[in-house]
Amino acid sequence: MTDNVPNQPISPDARAAQEALHKLATDSNDVVALGTLAASEVLLPVPETPDTPEGDPGGIQLPVFEQGDGVRLVPVFTSEERLALALPQIRSYRTVRLSLLGQGWPADDLALSIDAGSPDTVTVQGQGVRALATLTGGG
């Protein structure tokens, strides 16, 4: 888990992931962009709650948000800046390879939202999230 530190320069990995998101916004079947995204590390918000285990290096607890229309999603972000813009109340996150999230994705009705609130937001449904794991040989 890492504290969210604003104004960090964007990493080359984050830049590559954001370029892939931009390409996917116009062509959702761009295999090269999907592979780049799957291999990228993303920031998984860690909501601060009284029952949040401190420093649990084991399993990953997914932060599930429910929208007004009932859609349940897990937000991840390619940079600290995009995380801070979308969820300013979040102070901590875990860095995880996107393909690893797909390996244990819990349900088809749970969506993954990448860079929510940005112009390049991409939302992937459950089966698609699991498919990301196969694009990198499972991580």
Nearest one of 86, 89, 66 to 76, comparing CA atoms: 86
pTM: 0.81
Four-residue CA torsion sign, 70, 71, 72, 73: negative
- Work out the pLDDT band at 49, boundaries 50, 70, 90: low
What DSSP assignment string belongs to 7-57?
Answer: TPPPPHHHHHHHHHHHHHHH-TT-HHHHHHHHHSEEEEE----TTPPTT--
Residue range 116-137, pLDDT digits in tens: 989 889 999 989 899 888 887 5
Residue range 92-121, pLDDT digits in tens: 999 999 999 888 899 999 999 999 989 889
Nearest one of 70, 1, 14 to 40, comparing CA atoms: 14
Q: Which residues contact 66 (CB under 8 A, 6 or more apart)?
A: 72
Q: Which residue has the tokens 């996917």?
A: 24
What are the extents of the domains in the chain?
Answer: 10-44+63-134
Q: Which CATH architecture fits 10-44+63-134?
A: 3-Layer(aba) Sandwich (3.40)
Burial of 70 (0-12, 13-18, 19+ CB in 10 A): exposed
Q: What is the mean pLDDT of residues 74-101?
A: 92
